[in-house]
């Protein structure tokens, strides 16, 4: 995925780690930042 987004190879590991932290930190109060709905959050938490 990172390669598909044209993220330089040297930055890919950091970008993936950042995205992982953001997903783990999602809650009902901040899902709007990513234009998600509460139902989307429930699906993410299941994984």
Prediction pTM value: 0.62
- pLDDT for the residue numbered 45: 76
Per-10-residue mean pLDDT, the chain, length 47: 78 92 87 85 77
First to last CA, the chain: 18
Predicted local distance difference test score (pLDDT) of residue 43: 82
Question: SS in 3 state form for 1-47?
Answer: CCCCCCCCHHHHHHHHHHHHHHHHCCCCCCHHHHCCCHHHHHHHHHC
């Amino acid at each position: 995925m990172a390669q598909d987004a044209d993220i330089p190879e040297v930055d890919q590991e950091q970008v993936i780690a950042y995205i992982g932290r953001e997903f783990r930190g999602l809650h009902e109060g901040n899902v709007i930042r990513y234009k998600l709905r509460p139902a989307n959050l429930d699906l993410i938490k299941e994984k």
